[in-house]
Chain A
Amino acid sequence: MLRYTVRRLLQLVLVLFVLSLLLFIWLRSLPGGPVTALLGERATPEKREELNAVLGLDQPIIVQYFKFLGRVVQGNFGQSTGVSPGTSAVDVFITRFGATVELTVGAMIFGLALGVPLGYMAAKRRGGVLDNGYIVLSLIGIAVPVFFLAFLLKYVFAVKWGLLPPSGRQTPGIEATRVTGLFIVDGLITREWDASWDSVRHLILPWIALGTIPFAVIFRITRASVLEVQGEDFVRTAEAKGLTSRTIRNRHVLRNAMLPVITVTGLLTGLLLTGAVLTEKVFGYPGIGEALYLGFTKKDYPVIQVIILAAAAAFVIINTLVDLTYALVDPRIRAR
Chain B
Amino acid sequence: MVTTFSRARKQRIDALVNSGDEGSSLLQDAWARLKGSPLFWFGAVIVGLFVVLAIIGPWIAPHDPGAQLLIDQTSRARNSIAPAQDGFPLGGDTQGRDLLSRMIVGARQTLLVGIFATLIGLVGGLILGILAGAFGGWIDTLVMRIVDVMLSIPSLLLAISIGVLFTNPNLTSVIIAVSIPQIPVFARLLRGQMLAQRESDHVLAARALGVKRGPIVFRHMVPNSISPVIVQATLVVATSILDAAALSFLGLGSQDVSQPEWGQMLGEAQGSIDSHPQLAFWPAGAIIVVVLGFTLLGEALREAIDPKNRR
Q: Which residues of A contact B (CB under 8 A)?
A: 15, 18-19, 22, 26, 29-32, 139-140, 142-148, 151, 155, 159, 270-271, 273-274, 277-278, 281, 292-293, 296-297, 308, 311-312, 315-316
Contacts and interface: CB of A to CB of B under 8 A. Distances in A.
Nearest to A146: B246
B249 A142 contact: no
Contacts of A147: 246, 249
Given A155-B273, A281-B249, A308-B161, 20 more contacts: A18-B149, A30-B164, A32-B167, A139-B295, A140-B288, A142-B291, A144-B284, A145-B288, A148-B266, A155-B274, A155-B277, A270-B154, A273-B157, A274-B155, A274-B156, A277-B250, A292-B157, A311-B154, A312-B153, A315-B154
A274 B157 contact: yes
A26 B288 CA distance: 34
B292 to A, nearest CB: 4
Contacts of B289: 143
B165 A15 contact: no
A308 B153 CA distance: 8
B287 A26 contact: no
A32 B155 CA distance: 24
A312 B238 contact: no
Contacts of A274: 154-157, 246
Contacts of A315: 152-154
Going nearest first, the 8 A-B pairs with the smallest beta carbon separation are A274-B156, A270-B154, A143-B292, A31-B167, A143-B291, A274-B154, A312-B152, A148-B284
Nearest to B166: A31
B153 A19 contact: yes
Contacts of A29: 165
A218 B245 CA distance: 24
B280 A31 contact: no
Contacts of B273: 151, 155
Contact of A140 (B152, B274, B292): B292
B280 A26 contact: no
Interface residues of B, number: 36
A308 B157 CA distance: 8
A331 B165 CA distance: 48
* Chain B contact residues, majority secondary structure: helix
Interface string B41-71: 0000000000000000000000000000000
27 contacts: A26-B161, A26-B165, A30-B164, A140-B288, A142-B291, A142-B295, A143-B288, A143-B289, A143-B292, A143-B295, A144-B288, A145-B284, A145-B287, A148-B284, A151-B270, A155-B277, A270-B154, A271-B154, A274-B155, A274-B157, A277-B160, A278-B250, A292-B160, A296-B164, A297-B251, A311-B154, A315-B153
Contacts of B284: 144-145, 148
A278 B295 contact: no
Nearest to A289: B157
* Chain A contact residues, majority secondary structure: helix
Nearest to B168: A31
Interface of B: 148-149, 152-157, 160-161, 164-167, 238, 242, 245-246, 249-251, 266, 270, 273-274, 277, 280, 284, 287-289, 291-292, 295-296, 299
B79 to A, nearest CB: 15
B283 to A, nearest CB: 9
A278 B246 contact: yes
A147 B249 CA distance: 8
Nearest to B159: A274
A140 B289 CA distance: 9
A22 B161 CA distance: 11
A32 B154 CA distance: 25
Contacts of B277: 155
Contacts of A293: 250
B242 A145 contact: yes
A18 B250 CA distance: 27
B291 A278 contact: no
Nearest to B161: A26
B147 to A, nearest CB: 11
Contact of A145 (B161, B246, B296): B246
Nearest to A274: B156
A281 B250 contact: yes
Contacts of B274: 155, 159
Contacts of A15: 148-149, 152
Contacts of B152: 15, 19, 312, 315-316
A117 B238 CA distance: 27
A270 B280 contact: no
A146 B250 CA distance: 13
Contacts of B280: 148, 151
Nearest to B294: A143
Nearest to B153: A312
A100 B140 CA distance: 37
Nearest to A304: B161
Contact of A270 (B155, B160, B295): B155
Q: Which of B153, B156, B242 has the most CB of A within 10 A?
A: B153
